[in-house]
Structure 1
Amino acid sequence: MSKKHVQDSINEKRRYPRINTSSFIEYTLFDEKENKLDRGEGRKLNLSQGGALLESQKPLLGSYVVLIIPVLKKNNLQIKGRIVYTRKPDNSSFYLTGIEFIEAEDEQINDLIAFVKAYNSCTKVMVIDDDPTTRFFLENILRKREFQTWQAENGRVALNEISIAQPDLIISDVIMPEMGGFELCAKLRESPDTADIPFIFLSVKDDPVDQLKGLRMGADEYIVKPFKPADILQAINKVMEKTARLRGLQADVDIEGSLARIGLIEVIQMIEFNEKTGTLFLLSPSGGVNGAVYIKEGQVINAVSGDLDGKEAFYDLAAQSDGFFKFNIHDTIPSQKIRQKNMNLLMEASRLLDEAADLRPLVSSMEVRLTLQTSAVPGHVVERISAETLRSIMNLIRSGQTINEIPGSAGISRVRAAAAIADLINCGIVTEQKAGQKAELEILPESPGSPREDDRVKGKLIDRLKHMEKNSFTGTISIRGRSKPAWIYIEDGRIANAGFGQATGKKALFRIFSEHGGSYSETQGPLEINRRIDAPLPDLIQEAEAEIVWRRNLKTDLSAISVLISGNSLDAQKEIHKDPSKFRLLKAIRSNSVLKDIIDSSFLPDLETCRLIDEWRKNGIVVFKRL
């Protein structure tokens, strides 16, 4: 093969792949004239079927060379070649050596070319740090995950290497001799060829000011030393997924992704960068829609989340850290309700998220109730929380709402409510309600105790029912002289149903048992009724006495409480629909706003109704308000 033929074949860059790396190709050179071996590393290799062009820091002067691919050593893949020429291109500090393959089968060359193609598809990462130990540590982490790696000891060296390496990602220290990370990042962002390369800073400087400076310069992540391998890999995955989403936006295609990897704020930044118009949906882990953000030419103009819309809805959605997002590009969008620039909106969301996180260590649970210590709120707290929001939150605390119940009742986002409550706790304005403290809207008194003598269900009516049970009586007992007309149906000595005004079943029977006096008459004969009660008399008496004790210990006026269904509980409501008795109670809440009216219209006994409503309140399905 002639020198020209080798040159032509190895320069067919469109047909044959190239390896770009700082330490990938090793070679062993045999010089026949000097009768000695020389070893070194090449930095770039162009392949063809018949030969190769190797770029190295020193010329390969000799007869034969063996090229070794370290990753392929386990396959004993070594390519032997005859050196055709070595020359130094103009304005270059590297030498190009033309090599003609010898003693190599076509299959072997094809395997090498296929490997190089696969290798070139791997993510290329440039590691820049003046500490060799850090560079080695990072390179070891990355190569185990099949990343290509380049190294540089400072920003000045990296600038010369980047045009050759063409990295997909840069990981750089901040403080280095000759050129630091901040200066390098700034220079890369100035050039159209390198402006879009993702950039991760490493630094011992953990000052938030430095971190903010790095991010403002265009970096994608900022990691503080010392770090763990998991920190690096997590940051790389996050940055590369963000880059992929960005490319998807640039190509005008709908995009979707995981909120665990990329948060709402970062997604908004990507969409703003590309000035796209459309709707960003936030989905639960099960795929249900939690809310939506409407965007026009990159600017957020509205958001919805449950009963919230506008800024509060956006802040609520910004707190979502699991599930998925999906951005649909289209031109039809609703009217504008958010007029802030994205930067101000995102900064406010970030501030609220940070302040909301401060609440968790201050309370034992988000289901606790709070107690007001004073109504005097310091001026700096009033400045941070609007007077209307502050007044609403404090009224809800007085009414006995749990922390989780407050946002839905106040019409604000969870993060704003949490941030405000954290402020109030830190200032000593409110404290967590201690065990034994009674909340104003407590509907299930703690430890009601055993029934007293006057709580016992007894008297002539009970004696009569016991006698009928013994004699397997079938018929009806009519009761007069009570607050409402009442009757009890007996079948084979056991209570089958009861009525008290409009109430029936156990609900009616327990109300009958809770009143005294009146007169009774009985009618014997077969009954044609639906059996609504199926329990022995002693059990029914015990349940009735528990309800009587509950009423005696209840300190809350049930007619002063309004019960509202939370707009953020749609999934839980779907589960309730599967249980007929619970579904009827939910319908009663929709039809009546006052707790006393809900209890009266409920099919379930009064105490059972209150227990179920209180359970729903704890689970965020309903909220209480004082009338």
Structure 2
Amino acid sequence: MKGKILIADPDFETGELLRTWLSEAGFEPAYLSEGQDALREAVRTVPDVIILNADMSRTEGGSDAEAYELRRRLRRIPETAAIPFIFLWQNKDVPLQLKGLRMGGDDYVRKPLEKEALFRALENVTEGAARAGNFYSRSEFGGDLAQTNLYDLMQIAEMNSKTGYFVIKNTRGENVGSMCFLEGRLVRSTAHEDLEGEEAFYALLEYCQGYFEFHEGKTDCPEQIRLGNTEIFTKACRLLEEEKILKDRVPNPDVLLEIAIRQIPPELVTAVGKENLQKVLSMIYKKQTVREIISGIYGKSGMSRLTATSVLLHLMDAGLLTIREETPLPGGSAGAEPPVDKSLENTFKDFRRRGVTGILTILSGEGKGGTTRAALFFQDGQPVHAYHGKTRGKKAVYRIFSEKNTTLHFKPQPVVIHRTLDESPEQLLEEGSREAEAFLRLKKDLFDNTVAVHTPTMNEASIIRNIPDMEYVLSLAHQYDSLREIIEASQLTDLQTYRYMIYMDKIGVIALETRGRKKSEDFLTTELPKITLADNKL
């Protein structure tokens, strides 16, 4: 036999049909018509899968919530927590509860039943349960969010009655949040240092890429989340659907909203919460765009982006908000490409705040007739790629910072490109300002220096071997004749390459020789930050 399957449906014909199909396929089915009987049978026999009518209202004393309550109670019992469910649904419109449960590892099939759909759902839930079961005896584990998302983590914790916490990390390995479980139930979550509880969990749903770690054991964290896992799944599903609706309704997020009606219905306050409503309305009063409201919600409101989106949609559905016809930014029209500040520093900060996605082109010379030499690619306000001539990545960003007499031109569009930048905008700005200043001086004074390579002593060779980047720069010195050519060929930033060259010049491994003039020793020693060697790093 392939496994035991418990069927609970008040309709006898449906139950018999399922029992016939499953028996013919090699399963061991058992059919009951009452939900309470199914609960007792599940505890007694612990089936591999439960097929349950989502509407048990036709049973004696039953209701349409009985199916979800049966699932909740079995999830609370360690022996039955790992049983996956397939719900049967009669009507055309699928309720959010079922959509949410599908996100959490269960599934549903619509009536009238189709054999292929049933067995496809059966395969999905059994495979999911098997994956979750692999973590039953593991107290410490981790993985990639691209392969195991937050819903999978919830399923692992719930089906294995885990007590402990998940640490969620971004693609750079930085901690961005956590989820704490008590016997499989989510009881606490944190995100972005300022979000807690449900809002933190909804914020963490944005991380489709990154990493996770699980650590088993009881924690002292207070219980913040009162909703059960099923309710969390249901609400998350609703918020994600509302996000899609708002995107369809407001395709250009860089527009302003205005309040059309001052009287707010009491039922709206109840639906979205008074505090959430006040926070979003205050941002509308401050003439912030839809993108700014949704992206700028962190750090000041204790609200996730999904909740902010939901509040905006509720306000629009109630007729309280309308979209302004005029442009939210001077110098353009609604839906036009947003202008950018001439200062790259301000542009970086503005794009980060607004969560901009698109390409910032840097034109050399005045006006839009200039030549395109460089570009920065942004994804949700984060720089992800850059080029400057033939250079790529961080080196290109720092060269862009050194450009003068340029025109910036931004085009909002989806960005699908190999990522070459992992640094935050703040880090790029801080390091780039120093790099750009030094790069300008290097380009004017020292690029024409020729390079002569000497045979290093054993001590010098040992130092260089222990610093891979310096060894890499030395290999370039063997290939090229001038400092300019070495800096151009290097994959390191200009200042990094230059520092290694100066250090090797100081210890005698190379000699920087000027063409027709004396080398400026004062410039080498005073114009750049002091060079020191510690722990095999410059």
Q: TM-score, normalised by structure 1?
A: 0.43
Q: Which has the higher strand share?
A: 1
TM-score for both structures, normalised by structure 2: 0.48
